[in-house]
Amino acid sequence: MSLALLTEQWAKFHPVGERWLKLTAWWPVPLLSIVLLLIAASQLTVLLGQFSSAFSLGTRSSFVVLPFALALPESWSVVVTIVVLQPLVELTGMMVYLWWVPQRLLKDRSAPPTQLPMK
């Protein structure tokens, strides 16, 4: 967020910065799509395991509304900030959740999570 603020300030006072912002303005949506695809692909074995039901109930993706938030007028910029910060809070919570569920909730189960065989 600090880097974004510094870039915005740079763009206000330098023509090169303004051109850079205009050039990179369309990047968030395709890059976010690539990141979500990579995350989903990396978690395929987890989704098929016994933990999938526990973890799928604990998260949702506000990235779905990010393109809509980015399309709002500049006067609604606080909405974009909220839509970007909310997943960061959510991901932090998921990190705690990923630690807590196996340690506390599922510690009595002796069977390891089901995984696909690696080829």
Each residue of 78-108: pLDDT tens digit?
A: 888 888 888 788 778 878 877 887 777 766 6
With bands split at pLDDT 50, 70 and 90, how would you rate the model's confidence at 7? confident
Question: Across all residues in the chain, what is the average pLDDT?
Answer: 75
| Rounded alpha-carbon distances, angstroms, from residue 27 to 32, 87, 105, 119 | 8, 18, 40, 35
Q: Identify the pLDDT of residue 61.
A: 64
> Is the pLDDT reported for residue 110 higher than 70?
no
Q: Burial, 73: exposed, middle or buried (Cβ in 10 Å; 0-12, 13-18, 19+)?
A: exposed
Domain boundaries, the chain: 1-42, 51-107
The answer to whether the CB of 79 falls within 8 A of the CB of 66 is no
CA-based torsion, 3, 4, 9, 11: positive or negative: positive
